[in-house]
Amino acid sequence: MAKLCNQGCTLTWPMKYGQRFHAVPAAPVGPGPVSDRDFLTTMAKLPAEGTQARRFGKTRTEQSTALLEDYAELIADLLAGEGEARPTDIARRFGVSHATAIKTISRLKRAGLVAARPYRGVFLTANGQALADRVRVRHRLVVDVLRALGVPHEAAEADAEGIEHHVSETTLKAFAQFLKSRG
């Protein structure tokens, strides 16, 4: 498979183990053709250490909270739709084992986001409900932007599940402004 890169090169994929990256210059773009070496030099420029560390730190933090956010959102949905959120239902909807759901629910309890009642399931605390509401708004905004860009509904919903946890407040504001400007 080949893909045109932003430097006017055709990238060849897939690469086999041990094979070196290979960029084949495509038809000249701009002032002249871009050599493999120039392309790789451009690609190899790293941001400042502090900038890169901050970016990766932000991503690691978001990844650790993404699971809790997803659980809070699902629990809110189950409570609204079914009247209860049982660990068994949560496990089935996430496609995980009952033990995995229980372990994550325990994390939610320690974080003060849920309370569990014997034989009654899981309920969100005020903080848990506030988190679920924030996640739901973020999810809808990301879906709406993807749909506005022409992404089919099901793909937009699926993609939003990953994007919603990593998008900054600045980007969310830009998304909202974009949607508002479209009418």
Question: Which tens digits make up the pLDDT trace of 10-27?
Answer: 444 444 444 444 444 444
Counting the structural domains of the chain, the total is 3
Whether residues 120 and 141 fall in one domain = no
Is 10 inside a domain boundary? yes
Is 94 inside a domain boundary? yes
Domain that holds residue 81: 65-125
2-4 sheet: strands from edge to edge: 2-4, 9-12, 23-25
Low-confidence ranges of the chain (pLDDT < 70): 1-44, 55-64
> Cα–Cα distance between 133 and 106 in angstroms, integer?
21
Whether residues 120 and 135 fall in one domain = no
Question: What CATH number is attached to the domain comprising 165?
Answer: 1.10.60.10
Is 53 inside a domain boundary? no
* Total residue count of the chain as it appears in this document: 183
| pLDDT (0 to 100) of residue 46 | 78
Give the list of residues 6+ apart from residue 39 with CB closer than 8 angstroms, or none: 5, 7, 9, 23
Whether residues 173 and 140 fall in one domain = yes
Model pTM greater than 0.75?
no
> Cα–Cα distance between 5 and 16 in angstroms, integer?
19
Whether residues 173 and 138 fall in one domain = yes
| pLDDT (0 to 100) of residue 116 | 86
| pLDDT (0 to 100) of residue 166 | 84
Cis before 14? omega within 30: yes
Whether residues 160 and 108 fall in one domain = no
Whether residues 121 and 135 fall in one domain = no
What's the Cα-to-Cα distance from 36 to each of 4, 15, 17, 117, 120, rounded to whole Å? Answer: 13, 16, 20, 62, 63
| pLDDT (0 to 100) of residue 10 | 46
What's the Cα-to-Cα distance from 107 to each of 28, 70, 98, 110, rounded to whole Å? Answer: 55, 13, 14, 5
Q: How many helices (H) and strands (E) does the chain have?
A: 7, 5
Is 59 inside a domain boundary? no
Is 52 inside a domain boundary? no
| pLDDT (0 to 100) of residue 57 | 67
